[in-house]
Structure 1
Amino acid sequence: MNNDFPITKRLYYNNSHLLEFSAEVLNCKPNKDNWSVILDQTAFYPTGGGQPFDTGRLGEAQVVDCVDNDEHIIHIIDKAISGTVLGKIDPLRRRDHLQQHTGQHILSQAFIQVAKAETRGFHLGTNSSTIDLEIDQLSPELIAKAEDLANKIVFENRLINIHLTNEKDKFPLRKDTERENCIRIIEVEGFDFSPCGGTHAHQSGEIGLIVIRSIERIKRLWRVEFLCGQRALLDYRAAHQIAIETAKLFSAARDKSPELVIKLQQELKDLQKHNRELLNQVLKAEATNIYNNSTPNSNNLRIVKATFSRSLDELKTLAQLLVAQPSIVALLATTLESPKIIFACSNNIDIDCGKLLSQFCKEFDGRGGGKAEFAQGGLPIGTEFETALESLVKSLQKSYE
C-alpha cells in the first residue's frame, strides 16, 4: 500500500460503540482472492494487542480481515468498492470483544492488587480469553479474591475514561509503553490505567460479569482462562444444565451430585476389582483345562493351540498362566477384532518365540515379534486364520518331536 495516503482516522479511538460510519475510499487494490482497501476514516478495529479484528460490511463488500499498517488500517474485503461507502460493524462481535477486553484490564489490575501478579500476555480467543500471570503460586483463595475484586469494580459501574496524551508519566500506568507521542490510555475510573488501542466499554457495568474458568501452569507463568459478559452467561447456562441433568440421574438435589458421583466412582472401582478377581479365577480354570486336555509328545513337550473371543490382555494373562507350567508351548489367538496371536513358551524350552512369530506373520503380510519366551503379532483381516495357525502348529510339532 502507498504510504502517501493520509493517515487513517480511527473513529473507535473515541467511541467504541460507533457501529455505522461514512468514509471515502482512498485506495482499493486487488489481491489474488480479495481486495485491500484504505479509507480516510474507519470504525473497524484491526487485529492487535491480543484483540481480533472487527467484521462487518463496507457498502456491499464483506470485511473478512482488518490489518494495522501503522499509519493506515487495511480492510480486506471480498469485492471492489469506490467513492463514498457506508461502513457497518458487526454489533455482536464488537460488543463481545469490548466486554472481554475491558474485563481483561479489570482482572489484570485485580491480580496485581490481591497477588502482586503482573500480566505478561493476553489473548482474546473465539470462545474464551486468557491472561498469563507472573507469579510463583496461584492458590484458589487468590483466584477467588481477584475474581471478587474484579466483579466489585464491574458492579460499581465505573466510568471508562479515554485519555489521549503526550504525558504518560502523569498516569499510574499498570504497564509501560514504548510509544512517546499521543498515547491512548484507558482508565477504569480510579482503578486501572493502561495504554491500549483496543475497543472498550463506556462503563464497567457493560461487562456484566467476569468469571475465571481455569488456570494452567505454562513454564514460569500461570495462564488464567476467563469469560466476560455474554460468554459468562452462556457458560453458566451450559454448566447449570449439566448440573440439573446430572442431579436428575441421581434423583437428588443439585448440590448433592458431587458426593453421589464420588460414591458411584468408589462403587465402580470396587466392582471392577471384583470383576478382575473373577476373571482371574476364570482364566486360571481355563488354563488348567487347556493344560489337562493337552497331550505331551515323545519329548514330554505340550504344544497347545486355542482361539478365543477375548481381549488381547486376557490372552496374555492366559498365556502367562499356561507357560508357568514346565515344557509347554502356547499358541493363543483372538478374533475379537483383527486377528491377534500370542506365542509363548516355558523357560525350560529352547525356542525363540519372537523370531519364529515374526517370520510366520511376514508370510501373511502381518507383523509380529517379541522376546524369546513371549511374543505377539497380528495378521490382516481376511486371512485364513485357523489354517495359518494350524500350519504353525504342525511346523512346531515336526521340529520338536
Structure 2
Amino acid sequence: MEPYTASTVVTSIKEDGNGHWHTLENSPFYAEGGGQPADRGWIGTLPVLDVQIKDGEVWHLLSESLPTGKAVEVRIDEDVRRDHSIQHTAQHVITAILEDRHGIRTLSFGIGETDSSIEIETATMDWAHVEALEQEMQQLIFENRPIRVYEIPKEEVDRARLRKETDRTGMIRIVEIEGLDYNACGGTHVETTGQLGTIHVTAMKKVRGNLRLTYVAGNRAIKATQQARAALRTIHHTFSTTNESVAARVIEEHTIRLEREKEIKTLEERIAKAKVEAVLKEDNYVALHVGRTEAETLTTAIIERIAATGRIAVGANYGTQKLFVMHDGTQDIAVGTFLKAALQEMQIGRGGGNHKQAQARFTSVAELEKGIEEIVKRLQEGVLPC
C-alpha cells in the first residue's frame, strides 16, 4: 500500500452545519493543528473537506454521510500534503536560524492557502537583514541536510537541545534537522532540506511591537517569482524600462502623477468657484447643480459651497448616478429623513443621511433624472414628510 493510501472502516458519524463528520478505524490524515492546515484527500469517492481532532478522535468532514461499518479506501492528496510539509519545514529552518544565529525568537506560525507567516520577537529587522537571512536559508538548502522524524519516550528527550519545552506525555514526536533543529512537533515535514527548493520572504509587517514575516517555499516560491516577473514584464513593456532603470522610472511617474493631481485640484477649485457663482445668480431657495461629466469629488465640492451660502443645495453626478442634498444647518428640514421618505414613495433609488446632508444612488441615469426632478419640486413646494 502506498504511504498516501489506506484501507479502513467508518466507525462513527455526526452532523453539524458544515456537513457530515466521520471517524475511521485508522486514519492517515493530518488534522489541523500547530499552525498547519488539515490534509485534503478522499474517502472512497468523496472529497475530504476538513480534518479536526476532538476529544482525542480524528474527525473527517464529508459532503455526504457514509454508513457506520462501511469498508472504505482513503487517499491523501499528495500535492497538498507535500506543500504543507514544505511550508512547515521552512518554518523550522527560519525559526532555528533566527533564534540560534540572531537571537530572535519565533512567537507564532501559520500556513495560509497562498503563503505562510511567522511572528518574530523583534521590531528592528529591515530588508537588508531579510536578504541576508534568505542567503543563510539557501545555504542550508544546498547542504541538503537530512531531516529525521521519530518518537521516543518523554524521559529520553534531550532537554538541552529541545527547541521549545513540551507538555506532552508518553511518546514524544521529535523532528530533527541535522545540526540545526531538535523540536517536539506533530506536523508533517520533508525528508531533507534540499526538498524545500527555496524560501523567499515576501512581506514584512509590524504587529504588536513585533514583526510578521510572510514567506513562501517550494512551488509557492516559484509561483510567487513567476507572478513578480510577469508584473515586471508588464511594467517594462509599458514604460520601456530595464531591471536597472525600472525603479527610477516608477518613482518618476509617481512624482508626475502627484504634480498632476495638484494641478487638477487647483483647476477643480477654480471650476467649482465659477459654477457656484453661476448657480447663485439664480435667486432660488433650492439651488440645483448637475454634473454630467465631472468627477464625484467636484460635484460634492460644488454642492458643499452652495450649501454654505444658506440655501438648500441639490446636486447630481451622472457618472456615479448619485444625488446629494445639503444645507448649512440653518434650515429646519432634516434632509436625510426627507430624502429617504421621498425615495420610498417614488419607489426608486436608495439613500438617507442626517439633518444637514444626505445622498442617494440610482440604478440608471433615467432614475436619477426622475429623482432630481421630484426632489427639487418637493423642496421648492415644501412637500415634506411629517
Establish whether TM, by shorter chain, passes 0.5.
yes
Q: Partner residue of 1:45?
A: 30
Change (3 A) 1:29 1:251: same
Is 1:307 the counterpart of 2:289? The answer is: yes
Mapped contact 2:286–2:379 kept (Cα < 8 A): no
Mapped contact 1:171–1:193 kept (Cα < 8 A): no
* 1:141-180 correspondence runs (5 A): 141-166=128-153, 167-169=156-158, 172-180=161-169
Picking from 327, 349, 366, the partner of 1:343 is 327
Q: Partner residue of 1:399?
A: none
Q: Quote the offset at 1:386 in angstroms.
A: 3.3
Is 1:353 the counterpart of 2:331? The answer is: yes
Mapped contact 1:57–1:87 kept (Cα < 8 A): yes
1:20-52 Cα deviation digits (max 9, x unpaired)? 34x453x5223335352332x443222222222
Is 1:334 the counterpart of 2:321? The answer is: no
Q: Partner residue of 1:5?
A: none
1:101-134 Cα deviation digits (max 9, x unpaired)? 1111111111113431212212122211111212
1:357-400 Cα deviation digits (max 9, x unpaired)? 46754662474555xxxx433467545533542554466xxxxx
Mapped contact 1:34–1:76 kept (Cα < 8 A): yes
Mapped contact 2:299–2:317 kept (Cα < 8 A): no
Is 1:258 the counterpart of 2:247? The answer is: yes
Is 1:31 the counterpart of 2:14? The answer is: yes
* 1:137-286 correspondence runs (5 A): 137-166=124-153, 167-169=156-158, 172-286=161-275
Q: Distance in 2 between matches of 1:324 and 1:24?
A: 77
For these two proteins, the number of residue pairs brought into alignment is 359
Mapped contact 2:339–2:352 kept (Cα < 8 A): yes
Q: Partner residue of 1:398?
A: none
Q: Quote the offset at 1:216 in angstroms.
A: 2.1
Say which SS state the counterpart of residue 197 (structure 1) adopts.
coil
Mapped contact 2:314–2:323 kept (Cα < 8 A): no
What amino acid is aligned across from residue 31 of structure 1 in structure 2? K
Q: Partner residue of 2:3?
A: 18
Q: Distance in 2 between matches of 1:255 and 1:179?
A: 54
Q: Distance in 1 between matches of 2:248 and 2:222?
A: 26
TM-score (norm 2): 0.79
Q: Quote the offset at 1:61 in angstroms.
A: 5.1
What amino acid is aligned across from residue 333 of structure 1 in structure 2? G
Change (3 A) 1:275 1:354: farther
Mapped contact 1:354–1:368 kept (Cα < 8 A): no
- Which 5+ residue runs of structure 1 have no aligned equivalent? 1-10, 12-16, 296-301, 345-350, 396-401
What amino acid is aligned across from residue 288 of structure 2 in structure 1? A
Mapped contact 1:46–1:52 kept (Cα < 8 A): yes
Q: Quote the offset at 1:185 in angstroms.
A: 1.1
1:54-111 Cα deviation digits (max 9, x unpaired)? 2223455544433345765444555347576544321111111111111111111111
Is 1:135 the counterpart of 2:122? The answer is: yes
TM-score (norm 1): 0.77
Mapped contact 2:323–2:360 kept (Cα < 8 A): yes
Mapped contact 1:99–1:207 kept (Cα < 8 A): yes
Mapped contact 2:306–2:313 kept (Cα < 8 A): no
Mapped contact 1:244–1:254 kept (Cα < 8 A): no
1:152-199 Cα deviation digits (max 9, x unpaired)? 111110001224223113551111111243212111111111111222
Task: Calculate the aligned-residue CA RMSD, in Å.
Answer: 3.4
Q: Which moved more, 1:282-291 or 1:216-225?
A: 282-291
1:248-304 Cα deviation digits (max 9, x unpaired)? 11122134222212111111111121122222223333344445x446xxxxxx757
Q: Distance in 1 between matches of 2:373 and 2:54?
A: 71
What amino acid is aligned across from residue 352 of structure 1 in structure 2? T
Q: Partner residue of 1:108?
A: 95
What amino acid is aligned across from residue 38 of structure 1 in structure 2? L
Say which SS state the counterpart of residue 213 (structure 1) adopts.
strand
Q: Distance in 2 between matches of 1:289 and 1:239?
A: 51
Mapped contact 2:316–2:372 kept (Cα < 8 A): no
Say which SS state the counterpart of residue 251 (structure 2) adopts.
helix
Change (3 A) 1:171 1:94: farther
Q: Distance in 1 between matches of 2:244 and 2:125?
A: 26
Say which SS state the counterpart of residue 285 (structure 1) adopts.
helix
Change (3 A) 1:221 1:317: closer
